[in-house]
Structure 1
Amino acid sequence: MPEGDTVLQTTERLRAALAGRTLTRFDLRVPRFATADLTGRTVLDAVPRGKHILVRFEGGLTLHSHLRMDGAWRVHAAGERWRGGPAHQIRAVLANARHTAVGYRLPVLELLRTRDEEKAVGHLGPDLLGPDWDPRRALRNLLADPDRPLGEALLDQRNLAGIGNIYKAELCFMARVTPWLPVGELPAPLATRLVTTAKQLLEANRDRPVRTTTTARTAPRGQGPRDRLWVHGRADRPCLRCGTPVRVADQGTRPTYWCPRCQSGPTG
């Protein structure tokens, strides 16, 4: 599942290509909305909300999409060959005189009234990259179920919106606790710092082409291009902090990574 910074970058590409321009083609290849046609309408904006994307059109309509595990939006210049997957994976085509945006493998795609957007995204917690960010509320949400494993709580978009599996593992490593630690066992200063760090990480990566959580200040000497993340994707490779092999185990339906020496708490 994409992280909030990836969704933000995707939305910004859609906004740059579509906003303020009139649609010359509108094609939704999902049964429920296959007959919808907004050709001739102007795209007003494209905005991210957590991991959701909202494309707004004149006339009070919004196209809501969610990328989940492998969905993608690709933007092409007019006349350029589309690249993103075979034709049968295309779920949406939005085009104007200059650009074409093509949505591939979108598991969530719906056309709704703009006034009803909250029905699609109103359940989300504060958005780490959004104007509604509220660290106090995010912290309260995160700690609401003290027995819940930290990793699960971080991934729950109802608590705070924008954290995916990568940031989950990285945040737990930076907090020096395992993803299976009950959130109620986090000392109050550490819980507060965790929320602050989450915001800092996503902000730092919002414009980066390659996500990085290690920094010149915190990473060990000898860091290479493969060492942009502390633990995620590093199973059996040395921990960048202590050299112990990083471990991996499933947490729910997703793999999670941790260092058995640097991180304290129960393990999967």
Structure 2
Amino acid sequence: MPEGDTVWLTARKLHDALAGRTLTVSDLRVPRFATADLTGRDVLDVRSRGKHLLTRIEGGLTLHSHLRMDGSWRVFAAGERWRGGPGHQIRAVLGNTEHTAVGYRLPVLELLRTQDEERVVGHLGPDLLGPDWDPGTAVRNLLADPVRPLGEALLDQRNLAGIGNVYKSELAFLARVTPWLPIGELPDGVAERLMATAQRLLEENKNRFDRRTIPGARRTDQHLFVYGREGRPCLRCGTLIRRAGQDDRVSYWCPGCQSGPTT
């Protein structure tokens, strides 16, 4: 699933291509909104909220989308051939005289009143890349359930918005604890430092067009400490990285560097 930095960058690309311009193409290929016609309206703004995308359109409308596991928005120059998947995977097309934005495999796509945005994003915790970021609130949300494993708590978007499986595994490594450690057992001050690190990592990676990088992990072709490195030596201690399921997802960790329970 794309993480907060990827969604932020997607919103920026859509904003640059659509905002301040009048829609000349509008095609929402989901049954509920198939008859909606947005042509002739200006796109006012495109913003991310955690992993959600909000495209605000003249007339008090918002097109809400979520990428989940494999959805994507692609931006093409007007007249350019679309490349992002077969036509039957297209769920939305928004275009103007200069650009066309095409949404592929979008599992969530709905048109709502802008005043009703809280209905779809109001449950989210502070956004790591948003103006509402509040590390104190995020820490309190996380520690409200002290027996919950760290990895599960970090992925819960109600606690804080923007962390996915990659950052979950990397943050646990940087904190030197396993993703299964009950969050209430973190040493004093670690939760606060973890939030500061999480916000810094997403900020540093949000403009990357290639691959995200965790500072200190870069060794020739290596950009992450543990995620996706099962069976390869830890960049710090040489112990082989392990992988296991956790709450319907997977976690990666180094048995040599990280203390705490495992699966």
TM-score, normalisation: structure 2: 0.98
Q: Is the 8 A contact 1:23 1:39 kept in 2?
A: yes
Q: Is the 8 A contact 1:213 1:230 kept in 2?
A: no
Number of aligned positions between the proteins? 263
Question: 1:174-189 maps to which residues of 2 (within 5 A)?
Answer: 174-189=174-189
Q: Which moved more, 1:230-239 or 1:206-215?
A: 206-215
Q: Which amino acid aligns with 1:161?
A: A
- The corresponding residue for 1:199 is 199
Q: Is the 8 A contact 1:26 1:37 kept in 2?
A: yes
- 1:20 aligns to 2:20 (yes or no): yes
Instruction: List structure 1 segments (4+ residues) > 6 angstroms apart after TM superposition.
Output: none
**Aligned-residue offset at 1:211:** 3.6
Deviations 1:87-138 (A, max 9, x none): 0000000010010000000001000000000001000000000000000000
Q: Which amino acid aligns with 2:173?
A: F
Q: Is the 8 A contact 2:217 2:224 kept in 1?
A: no
CA distance in 2 between counterparts of 1:235 and 1:44 reads: 44
- The corresponding residue for 1:237 is 232
Q: Is the 8 A contact 1:170 1:213 kept in 2?
A: no
CA distance in 2 between counterparts of 1:189 and 1:211 reads: 30
Flag structure 1 segments of 5+ consecutive residues without an equivalent.
Answer: none
Deviations 1:146-192 (A, max 9, x none): 11000000000000000000000000000000000000101121111
CA distance in 1 between counterparts of 2:8 and 2:118 reads: 19
- 1:263 aligns to 2:255 (yes or no): no
Deviations 1:48-94 (A, max 9, x none): 00000000011000000000000000000000000110000000000
CA distance in 2 between counterparts of 1:4 and 1:165 reads: 11
CA distance in 2 between counterparts of 1:172 and 1:119 reads: 32
3-state SS in 2 of match to 1:188: coil
CA distance in 1 between counterparts of 2:210 and 2:41 reads: 35
- 1:94 aligns to 2:94 (yes or no): yes
Q: Percent identity?
A: 73
- The corresponding residue for 1:50 is 50
- The corresponding residue for 2:246 is 251
**Aligned-residue offset at 1:210:** 3.0
- The corresponding residue for 2:3 is 3
Flag structure 2 segments of 5+ consecutive residues without an equivalent.
Answer: none
CA distance in 2 between counterparts of 1:151 and 1:211 reads: 22
- The corresponding residue for 2:166 is 166
CA distance in 2 between counterparts of 1:159 and 1:72 reads: 25
CA distance in 1 between counterparts of 2:209 and 2:99 reads: 21
3-state SS in 1 of match to 2:190: helix
Q: Is the 8 A contact 2:201 2:214 kept in 1?
A: no
- 1:110 aligns to 2:125 (yes or no): no
- 1:127 aligns to 2:123 (yes or no): no
Q: Is the 8 A contact 1:55 1:64 kept in 2?
A: yes
**Aligned-residue offset at 1:213:** 3.8
- 1:81 aligns to 2:55 (yes or no): no
TM-score, normalisation: structure 1: 0.96
**Aligned-residue offset at 1:219:** 4.2
Out of 224, 248, 251, the position equivalent to 2:220 is: 224
CA distance in 2 between counterparts of 1:186 and 1:126 reads: 21
CA distance in 2 between counterparts of 1:260 and 1:210 reads: 29
Q: Which amino acid aligns with 2:242?
A: R
Cα RMSD after superposing both structures: 0.9
3-state SS in 2 of match to 1:256: strand
- The corresponding residue for 2:30 is 30
Deviations 1:209-250 (A, max 9, x none): 2344432xx348xx112x100000000000001000000001
Q: Is the 8 A contact 1:74 1:101 kept in 2?
A: yes
